[in-house]
Amino acid sequence: MSQEPSWDLYRTFNAVLSEGSLSGAARALGLTQPSIARHIDALEEAVGAPLFLRTSRGLSPTDAALELRPFAELMASTSAALLRTAEGRSGEVDGTVRISASEVVGIIHLPAILTRLRQRYPRLTIELSLSNAVDDLLKRQADIAIRMVRPEQQTLIAKRVGSFPVGLHAHRDYLARRGTPKSMDDLKHHDIIGYDAETPAIRAFAERHPGLDRASFALRVDSNIAHLTAIRAGFGIGICQTIIADAEPDLQRVLPDAFHEDLETWVVMHEDLSGNTRCRAVFDALVTELTALVRR
């Protein structure tokens, strides 16, 4: 290769991959189709391999393209993170902070916290990315993450905020209808709301609680929010945070002694952002608020 290709080619490459056509990529990037075509031609020339099969209804990526995709995506998220960091460097807390959290934390706990945060910093914008992926920070897909596992990466700044207790819960209507189990064995005769996927975390959980295995579930769903909604609807007995259930009179704890878990919770930030006023303010606020929430 004579000269390193323009980094803009990678951006175009990303757009073509996600849009599936030159014209679509052109629309997404605000360019025109011939320009996109030239970019892809240039990139194929630079990497020395065809990246797409041209058909009359779009482009389909080759194996080579799929192999390069993660790199191009990392460049895209890094560029976005750079621009976020650069935003609003006025010494005040403004600009955008992107927070990654689990669905439950993002939907149940964060709204009130973010409301206070926004009132305190009226020029602050929050982006919320709700998923259980844990490597967002290193892929620069978020500035701050709230996690249920201890972060091991040395380049991350982490602060423990305590543990969210979780337990078995059911709606009072369900318990009135089906009775309240007195032991873990009784659960065999109940409708249990459980998980669908088999992640390492879930496998470890299943080993700790032999009664609650996949075969015994009457409803299998991965979304913890759907879990909670099913409990509220009186479908059966499921797991949710006690903090959530305590706030809803219709939800009752089941077998509090036989079943309890604690979700260690951490607020995590990349050390590159430790000097950033905005991220620091949000990080500190999240630590304070979540710590208070857990201790309540």
Partner DNA sequence: CCTGGCTCATATATTTTCGTATAGCATATG
Partner DNA sequence: CATATGCTATACGAAAATATATGAGCCAGG
Binding site for DNA (CB under 7 A): 8, 21-24, 30-35, 37-39, 54-59
Distance CA 60, CA 27 (A): 18
Among the listed ranges 79-87, 207-215, 220-228, 238-246, the one in contact with a copy of itself (CB under 8 A) is 79-87
Q: Does 11 bind a copy of itself (CB under 8 A)?
A: yes
CA distances from 37 to 43, 54, 60 (A): 10, 10, 14
Whether 145 contacts 99, CB under 8 Å: yes
Whether 161 contacts 291, CB under 8 Å: yes
Distance CA 216, CA 236 (A): 12
Phi–psi pair at 33, nearest 5 degrees? -60, -40
For the chain, where are the alpha helices, taking DSSP H only? 8-19, 22-29, 33-47, 63-86, 103-104, 110-120, 172-178, 200-208, 224-232, 242-246, 277-295
- Closest CB 217 distance from DNA, rounded Å: 40
Nearer to DNA among residue 22 and residue 124 (C-beta):
22
Size of the site for a copy of itself (CB under 8 A): 42
- Closest CB 237 distance from a copy of itself, rounded Å: 31
Nearer to a copy of itself among residue 46 and residue 293 (C-beta):
46
Q: Which string of b and e fits 59-95 if b means at least 16 CB within 10 Å?
A: bebeeebeebbeebbebbeeeebeebbeebeeeebbb
Q: What mask of x and - would describe binding to a copy of itself in positions 33 to 52, judged by CB under 8 A?
A: -------------xxxx---
37 interacts with, out of DNA, a copy of itself, none, CB within 5 to 8 A per kind: DNA
Q: Does 267 bind a copy of itself (CB under 8 A)?
A: no
Nearer to a copy of itself among residue 29 and residue 267 (C-beta):
29
Distance CA 15, CA 25 (A): 5
119 interacts with, out of DNA, a copy of itself, none, CB within 5 to 8 A per kind: none
Q: How far is CA 129 from the centre of its chain?
A: 5
Nearer to DNA among residue 3 and residue 119 (C-beta):
3
Distance CA 234, CA 251 (A): 9
- Closest CB 33 distance from DNA, rounded Å: 5
Widest CA span in the chain: 76
- Closest CB 3 distance from DNA, rounded Å: 10
Nearer to DNA among residue 54 and residue 220 (C-beta):
54
Q: Under rule CB under 8 A, which residues in 86-145 are in contact with a copy of itself?
A: 86-87, 89, 134-135, 138, 140
220: nearest Cα among 200, 243, 236, 241? 236
Which of 54, 60, 82, 123 binds a copy of itself (CB under 8 A)? It is 82
Where along the sequence are the contacts to a copy of itself (CB under 8 A)? 1, 3-4, 6-8, 10-11, 30, 46-49, 63-64, 67-68, 70-72, 74-75, 78-79, 81-83, 85-87, 89, 134-135, 138, 140, 152-155, 272, 275-276
